[in-house]
């Protein structure tokens, strides 16, 4: 376990460094700059801003300074909001994003997996058809379309749900449904297909032949192995949900990280763009590591080797 973790952590560090380098190069390859305006700033003002933010330094020095900042958990200042740092924006937006993301993860787990199991156990019956119909709709309907439909039907027409903000539990219903719709449907379909495959294995037939109860065969022997592909998918999925869906947050006017990211694109606020991207990447690689560790807990036959 120790050698495995050390190897994976070193791989994570290299991955994050590559992401930082690629993001930095891409941001500095975009024509113009963070202070480019339709009405050009006076040269003296532009020069003063570049000096203040060290944008007149050689590119290699800017990169080294940026990496040093990341190592000290300093993602730099916002170019468009005076006196505000990227760390401030993440601290401001992440709690709202985390709240919606965690709620969506819980809904996906407690609804998606049981639906997939039910569908597999009732294969070719009406329950299976209903679950697959709902799952197909969830996979094919884009999240922003679902979000717009929720606002139109349940907010504008029926008045059951608030359409913006995040001040009560009712405000969470619409965003959570829209954010979890695709992943919940995918998890249900993945659980079903994996469960059907596992139920055809020889060891399941052997367990049934030994006279084990159906529930014991399904939940003690089949489910563990059936969940391995689901866990593989859920690692990156959880990272994505916990770092926010920019479109959903924008549609429901949620003051999360998505709001800052979208605004930074329009404002060419490069440090905010890079900071949120790196924050997401870090979340993603950590979740992948957690998934690898969970493999051995779900199925002891899977060993952590170099």
The tens digit of pLDDT for each residue in 121-131 reads 888 899 889 99
At 297 the pLDDT is 66
**What span, in angstroms and rounded, lies between the C-alpha atoms of 149 and 156?**
10
Where does residue 83 fall: left (phi above 0), alpha (psi -120 to 50 degrees), or beta otherwise? left
Residue 302 has pLDDT above 60, yes or no: no
Output the pLDDT for position 121: 86
Task: Output DSSP code: residue 158.
Answer: S
User: Residues 272, 274, 277, 280: is their CA dihedral positive or negative?
Assistant: negative
pLDDT score, position 6: 81
pLDDT at residue number 96: 87
Q: What is the pLDDT of residue 106?
A: 92
Helix runs in 30-152, H state only? 43-52, 59-71, 86-107, 113-121, 126-140, 143-150
The span from the CA of 204 to the CA of 156, in Å, is 51
Choose from 67-71, 202-206, 300-304 the range with maximum mean pLDDT: 67-71
Q: Report pLDDT for 243.
A: 66
Is the pLDDT score of 7 beyond 50? yes
Q: Give the whole-angstrom CA distance, residue 117 versus residue 226.
A: 9
> Percentage of the chain with pLDDT > 70?
88
pLDDT above 90 as % of the chain: 11
Alpha-carbon gap, residue 180 to 146, rounded angstroms: 10
Side-chain-facing half-sphere of 13: CA atoms under 13 Å: 8
What integer pLDDT is reported at residue 41 of this predicted model? 62
pLDDT computed for residue 108 by the predictor: 92
Q: What is the pLDDT of residues 158-193, one digit of tens each?
A: 888 888 878 888 888 999 999 888 899 999 999 999
- Report, as an integer, the average pLDDT of 87-97: 86
Q: What is the CA radius of gyration of the chain?
A: 24
**What are the tens digits of pLDDT across the range 221-279?**
788 778 888 887 887 788 778 766 778 888 888 888 877 877 777 777 788 888 888 88
What pLDDT, in 10s, does the model give residues 12-63? 888 888 988 888 888 777 766 666 665 666 667 667 776 776 777 788 888 8
Give pLDDT, residue 274: 85
pLDDT at 306 exceeding the cut of 50: no
- Please, which pLDDT band fits residue 298 given cuts at 50, 70 and 90? low
The overall average pLDDT reported for the chain is 81
Torsions phi, psi of 187, nearest 5? -65, -40
CB atoms within 10 A of CB 195: 24
């Amino acid at each position: 376990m120790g050698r495995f973790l050390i190897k994976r952590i070193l791989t994570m560090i290299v991955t994050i460094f590559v992401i930082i380098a690629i993001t930095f190069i891409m941001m500095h390859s975009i024509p113009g700059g963070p202070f480019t305006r339709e009405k050009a700033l006076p040269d003296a003002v532009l020069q003063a801003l570049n000096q203040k933010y060290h944008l007149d330094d050689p590119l290699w020095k800017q990169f080294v300074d940026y990496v040093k900042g990341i190592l000290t958990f300093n993602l730099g200042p916002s170019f468009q909001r005076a006196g505000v740092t990227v760390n401030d924006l993440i601290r401001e937006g992440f709690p709202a994003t985390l709240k919606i993301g965690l709620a969506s993860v819980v809904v996906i787990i407690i609804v998606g997996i049981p639906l997939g199991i039910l569908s597999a156990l009732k294969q070719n019956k009406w329950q299976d058809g209903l679950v697959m119909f709902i799952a197909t709709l969830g996979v094919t309907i884009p999240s922003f379309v679902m979000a717009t439909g929720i606002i139109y039907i349940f907010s504008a027409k029926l008045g059951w749900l608030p359409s913006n903000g995040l001040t009560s539990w009712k405000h969470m219903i619409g965003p959570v449904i829209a954010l979890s719709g695709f992943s919940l449907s995918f998890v249900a379909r993945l659980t079903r297909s994996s469960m059907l495959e596992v139920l055809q294995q020889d060891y399941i037939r052997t367990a049934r032949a030994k006279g084990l109860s159906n529930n014991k065969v399904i939940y003690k022997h089949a489910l563990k192995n059936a969940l391995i592909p689901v866990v593989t998918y859920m690692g990156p999925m959880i990272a994505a949900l916990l770092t926010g869906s920019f479109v959903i947050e924008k549609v429901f006017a949620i003051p999360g990280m998505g709001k800052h990211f979208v605004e930074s694109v329009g404002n060419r606020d490069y440090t905010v763009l890079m900071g949120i991207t790196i924050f997401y990447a870090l979340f993603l690689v950590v979740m992948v590591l957690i998934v690898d560790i969970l493999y051995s807990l779900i199925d002891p036959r899977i060993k952590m080797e170099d």
